Amino acid sequence: MNEFTVQPQSPRYSSDEKLLIIACHLSGFIGVPFILPLIVYLVKKEEPGPVAAHAKETLNFHISLIIYFAIAAVLLVVGIGFLLFPLIGLAWFILSIVAALKASDSIFYRYPACIRFF
């Protein structure tokens, strides 16, 4: 393979798909972190395309965050929970933005340390 060989491009998302996907990833910023991805997933799960996959990944991420925050709350008793709350919040903030940026480039983003329920 030489330097002039063209690599195949990944399929681009339509503007409607991209809007829904980015809204799912940024749903925590607009105040509906669990509800919006759930609604999008339930509506789009039968349709072909990337929207349902992104909504499902975001939904799994938000459920995982709830579990991590609950564990941090329990660990407040031992004294280390107060350190975990800001770390979890910072991870949520950064990873949500990274996922939205990847989605805007038509790339599927898998959240790290995410428990896959669906």
Regarding predicted confidence, which is higher, 79 or 28?
28
Higher pLDDT, 118 or 41: 41
Q: Which domain holds residue 76?
A: 15-103
CB atoms within 10 A of CB 12: 10
- At 4 the pLDDT is 52
- Residue 70 counted as domain residue: yes
Burial class (CB in 10 A: 0-12, 13-18, 19+), 114: middle
On whether residue 41 sits in a domain, the answer given is: yes
Residue 44 in domain: yes
Mean pLDDT of all residues in 91-102: 95
Separation in Å, CA 50 to CA 54, 58, 64:
6, 12, 21
The domain tally of the chain equals 1
Digit-coded pLDDT (tens) for 17-69: 899 999 999 999 998 888 999 999 999 989 888 999 999 999 999 999 999 99
Q: What are phi and psi of 99, to 5 degrees?
A: -65, -40
